[in-house]
Structure 1
Amino acid sequence: MMTNLFSVFDPTSSFLSNWLSMLTPLLFMVMTFWLLPSRAQFLTSSVLNSLNREMSLLMGTASIGTNILVIALFLFILFNNFVGLFPYIFTATSHLAITLSLAVPLWASFVIYAWAKQTLSALAHLVPLGTPAPLMPFMVLIEIISNLIRPITLSVRLAANMIAGHLLLTLLGDQGTMESIYITMVVVFAQVILLILEFSVAVIQSYVFMTLMTLYASE
């Protein structure tokens, strides 16, 4: 049973169709080049402008390129989270190969840029203000470890949250088929609530990933 349960998150079961599911957002983006402005486009523009203003508060007004990068990352994760909620479609963001590929290169680029361009500030950041002298070596070690595990925690958080909701939906779906009509109704109601919760998690996890990446860049 456990093998069948976790096979949903195995991309090798149908390799081509599973990874090609990440390209489905392009089907929605192409329409913006030839359709007249619609309410959906106005809503998307207002959301993107709000995200840009919020990222500018964290990064400053001179970080337009970084804002575009993290907002594009937010849209990519959001679309993949939503697409994964449809039946028989692999959730790419539930696999560590995707989440690590998103987090590690961006985090490494920020770290390399900080140490190359602002070496003194990066060194000073390893020791918090007001740290006693005997604790400074330990604080440097702790800060280095915390910086190194940032992309891992960022990737595992996204993948684990996407996997957890899918597992709950799968487990509830397996329980309702062999029970009475009343228990089946309760299971279906619980699945609807969980599905609504999964839509919320899809948005929240995309926003959290974007915000944490922006905070790492601002440091």
Structure 2
Amino acid sequence: DDDNCLLGIVTVDDVIDVIHEEATEDIFRLAGTAEIDLEDNSANRIINSLRSRLPWLLITLVGGLLAGRIIRGLEAELQAVVALAYFIPLLTGMGGNVGTQSSTITVRGLATGQIDAKELFIAVGREAMVGMAVGLICGLIVTLVALFWQKSLLLGLVVGGALLGNMITAATMGTFVPMVFKRLGIDPAVASAPFISTSIDITGLLIYTGLASVFIGRLA
């Protein structure tokens, strides 16, 4: 206390319990849910699970519907060049993974003090560069695969370019959203994977749709 008198002790077991509780809470929040009592077999467990999971799942649902609407807008291009549809799962999957990685690293860095919320543009720029580097490598691979499958260099460039743009956007968004939440005084762990991955799916499809629309005349 203020008189430098020992009031008590904190045992190692107590410290470990606190560490375990905090880590568990962070993991659940990153998944867009909350901790529940797994041994509780009452109706309360179902209600609590529903309350913690449903909001983020509804966001994912709305995002999925928007993504479907975007794909519907690509109907003419898909009818003209069916091969465009082959790469949609790849684009959404890769973008979601990159965004989740960036988000996890950022949230963890903010929690440990390794990342300062005031260094928003520095952190976002750094992750954007990582996303660009990964996007260039993966985009080149996808371009070669598309060229091998469809014998079309232009198709490969469209898919590779869309993947590059999507991965840069994903890395940027995965860093930007948690840091903005932090600066607004909101727990950055709330910027969970479902929210970020859904947003990235939408932006990735918009990029893909835009590129396909521009070059559809040469692809068909």
TM-score range, shorter chain: 0.3 to 0.5
TM-score (norm 1): 0.37
TM-score (norm 2): 0.37
